[in-house]
Structure 1
């Protein structure tokens, strides 16, 4: 018996199904034949938060590598192109990603949905230094604002990322938000053990304003008197800060673990009191096993370091 070929109207759907089945095995196709939905996130801190919200509902691409500086990291041409193919772009905003913002704006102009998280969580301004009165982008040092961010990101994922299960995203967001709430409670309990007179922060640059506001710390100053690591202190800046450190009796200077602590060490030599230089994970997550691979791990590590550096009752 002669076998007759299938007509094209029947053959085309069969071929498409076979191609999609092959693509699904390597994560490259959805059931309807389109590419997997994608959320592109600029910073690795927001990337970790977003992955916890999205779960398996879409691919999450993070542009900033572990240990990088969010003020100075750049993107490759393929990464820039990925922004314009995304269903949603999540970025920090408030001027943090100085070398990436133009690519985010280009994606927005092509019709890609974007969310500037920092702009939407009641931002505060820097209180002093070269950046005084400018918006402070480091909102993630306040876990309560991160809880708010979780809900905002979830809403945008449901609205703009095609094919996601709304209930699954909301369930993920609720579960992760509960973990952030637990973190916030634990941080307050831990910080409450630090005597009020010791709750004074000196950092490599102005990065902990939100944490200070939430948990009752006073910002004495920063080695780099700016909200960005791209600035540099003058000799007079260091002298003025050394004087403030001596007057306040500050016990420790906290330097970002992703940045050399040379300037903090210089400040330590400039002041005439015994002050420790303590590393913190303030602006970037680390690779797995390096102490701060997730947002929750980073904040717990920093809370412990601050508590030990400033002393408890």
Structure 2
């Protein structure tokens, strides 16, 4: 069970008090940073994916503190005094955007006295919408305009935008482009290095995109059906023309509650559409996923072999970088569905 929102607020308040007592004048700010060196540009990144992008583009010049831990949900966060201190010292704060951090980011930013610039890495990404349920149609189309000007159709109050934009490598490239621009603006002396780092990493993202498309294309069309732990792979499904059957938690957030009727309905869908496997996620408990697969009589990919959905893995794991996590995901998906 996840902690109720009131408990999270109380924990955050406790952390703020602890920081105040410790004294906000200390200047370390590197308790959870990547340790890339002293005298570098101090920044904070919210999620594991965004932090990885920042470290690649800012390599050699950026000291990036990552707020969300590996294999943890980015939909909730409990600040530590060290986190708050680093936020207060940072020149840039990189966020995923699309509402992913809206439940928890404002309080620590305000409490830390952050006076730098917040960078929304999602600017320019064409968003998909839904009530936590995958929808096909115009939102699946790619776009070439990276200006960040979203049309009104993406902002109806009654619908939510899907924040899991990084699962389309083309959108990860847009995120990296936003990071590159922000780093150059904050540290123009190293513009050529940031540009070179971006160019090299963008080429790897392009290669990843082609590789995933090729491997999905090798599957029989009637096998390209995905059931995951929660609705985190919509952009992936749109980009590579998979069929979304359902999710154990049918919502963009992994904090949603699951009803018995929803479980029964998903089991029926899996049987009716002859889905071959149900995929767990590394940041979520596998118990319900295993139970649904068992009821449906299909294989389950859970535990250590789970997909990297909301979070990258810890250092040394198969998914400790964005590129490694996506390569692991495609191998796991293809091996289970072929």
* TM-score, structure 2 as length reference: 0.76
Q: How far 1:147 sits from its partner (Å)?
A: 1.2
**1:184/1:107 Cα in 2 relative to 1: closer, same or farther (>3 Å)?**
farther
- In the other structure, the counterpart of 2:256 is 231
**1:178/1:108 Cα in 2 relative to 1: closer, same or farther (>3 Å)?**
farther
C-alpha distance in structure 1 between counterparts of 2:189 and 2:43, whole Å: 11
Q: How many residues align?
A: 278
Q: How far 1:164 sits from its partner (Å)?
A: 4.2
Pick from 164, 177, 193 the counterpart of residue 151 of structure 1: 177
- In the other structure, the counterpart of 1:64 is 68
CA contact (8 A) 1:89 1:104 kept: no
Q: How far 1:257 sits from its partner (Å)?
A: 1.5
Runs of 4+ in 1 over 2 A off after TM superposition: 97-100, 103-111, 126-133, 161-164, 273-278
**1:68/1:110 Cα in 2 relative to 1: closer, same or farther (>3 Å)?**
closer
**1:232/1:120 Cα in 2 relative to 1: closer, same or farther (>3 Å)?**
same
- In structure 2, the gaps of 5 or more residues are 1-35, 136-157
Pick from 290, 299, 307 the counterpart of residue 275 of structure 1: 299
SS of 2:183's equivalent in the other structure is helix
1:213 and 2:238 correspond: yes
Pick from 37, 41, 65 the counterpart of residue 45 of structure 2: 41
CA contact (8 A) 1:199 1:217 kept: yes
- In the other structure, the counterpart of 2:149 is none
CA contact (8 A) 2:123 2:175 kept: no
- In the other structure, the counterpart of 2:9 is none
1:96 and 2:80 correspond: no
Q: How far 1:104 sits from its partner (Å)?
A: 6.5
Q: How far 1:80 sits from its partner (Å)?
A: 2.1
SS of 1:118's equivalent in the other structure is coil
1:142 and 2:168 correspond: yes
- In the other structure, the counterpart of 2:204 is 179
Pick from 123, 130, 139 the counterpart of residue 127 of structure 2: 123
C-alpha distance in structure 2 between counterparts of 1:52 and 1:128, whole Å: 31
Q: Comparing 61-70 with 131-140, which one deviates more in the overlay?
A: 131-140
Pick from 99, 113, 116 the counterpart of residue 112 of structure 1: 116
* TM-score, structure 1 as length reference: 0.82
C-alpha distance in structure 1 between counterparts of 2:126 and 2:37, whole Å: 38
- In the other structure, the counterpart of 2:190 is 165
C-alpha distance in structure 2 between counterparts of 1:104 and 1:157, whole Å: 23
> What are the superposed Cα offsets for residues 143-183 of structure 1, whole Å, 9 maximum, x if unpaired?
01111111111001111x24641111001000011111111
- In the other structure, the counterpart of 2:213 is 188
- In the other structure, the counterpart of 2:316 is 289
C-alpha distance in structure 2 between counterparts of 1:277 and 1:89, whole Å: 35
- Highest CA radius of gyration, 1 or 2? 1
**1:182/1:104 Cα in 2 relative to 1: closer, same or farther (>3 Å)?**
farther
**1:104/1:284 Cα in 2 relative to 1: closer, same or farther (>3 Å)?**
same
C-alpha distance in structure 2 between counterparts of 1:117 and 1:231, whole Å: 25
